[in-house]
Amino acid sequence: MKIAIVGAGAIGGLIGARLAAMGTHQVSALARGETLAALQREGWRLTSPDGDVQAPALASADPKALGVQDVVIIAVKGPALQALAPQLGPLFAPHTLIVPAMNGVPWWFCDRVPGFENQGLSSVDPQGLLARHLPMEQVIGCVVHGSAFTPHPGMVLHRMGRGLMLGEPWGGRSPRVQALCEVLATAGFEVTHSENIRHDIWYKLWGNLTMNPVSALTGTTMDHVLADPLLREFCSQAMLEASRIGARIDCPIAQSPEERHAITSRLGAVKTSMLQDVEAGRPIELDAIVTAVHEIGLRLGEPMPAIGALLGLTRVMARQRGLYPSAA
């Protein structure tokens, strides 16, 4: 099998390194800059509690050089995908599986939801560019449950978690997803073949919706956010709003916010990905994690005072730092 990793950062590097170390499949990376140079010079490198991994890497900045793939795993941050998607055509044939291993609400999420048909989500795909260049019939939904970061280009430090959930975007099980699950399980991931990947995406988002932006605003880890009773209650209110939205788009949440807080608390002093991006001066993934939820709620006419305040606060903070586009 030919597998290309688009974006060899923390999550892309984690998946790519484990797949390449198997030696069973041809694993390549579409990368650029210092990451590309590091991969070409030193290969895939991963330090993990499960053991270190190093493997040769076939890497290029040119999709044409990599050619048609069987699987393309997209692991870039949301803000980068708009510019990148039109360049990915040489990687695709009609059989190619496209797996966005990304945070938040994907561009296809509401395509078949009553009232959203053929409209798309302008927050994550403002001109419908992703829908045009990433064929929906080839997309496999994906949720990543793991924590990793890159201390320097081409090197991944894996902290915890090896969970991957894969599923057909509109539910059910399929042979193509099962085959991909088996490949990733052999590479050491804890893989779930989901029958409702939209629900799994929304459930993970339900926690990220608050923890990511609040940690970025406060500059602190999740344990400190949840230790403050006022912040904890604010997060709970936003989560209740998101629960009501989810129930209306066939993504109901069975837990209470406090039950989810208890799970999050067990992770300890974790820096969210959005806080890491702010500290590194990188654009933040605000739109897929918060703006998309706000857009869906607006279209449904749901009251969202907490989500609206969270979006406004984070947007202004990020704009002041040059990490989010200025208002048109």
- DSSP result, 120-131: --TTT-TTSHHH
Q: From CA 263, how far away is CA 270, in angstroms rounded?
A: 13
Q: From CA 87, how far away is CA 63, in angstroms rounded?
A: 7
- On whether the CB atoms of residues 250 and 113 are closer than 8 A, the answer is yes
Residue 139 DSSP class: B
Strands (E) across the chain are located at 2-6, 26-30, 44-47, 53-55, 58-60, 71-74, 97-100, 141-152, 155-167, 190-193
Q: From CA 95, how far away is CA 28, in angstroms rounded?
A: 18
* Sign of the dihedral defined by the CA atoms of residues 105, 109, 114, 116, in that order: positive
CA atoms within 13 A on the CB side of 87: 15
Residue 64 appears among annotated catalytic residues: no
- On whether the CB atoms of residues 307 and 290 are closer than 8 A, the answer is yes
Q: From the CB of residue 233, how many other CB atoms can be counted at a distance below 10 Å?
A: 12
- Catalytic entry in 2, 64, 77, 204: 204
Residues that are catalytic: 204
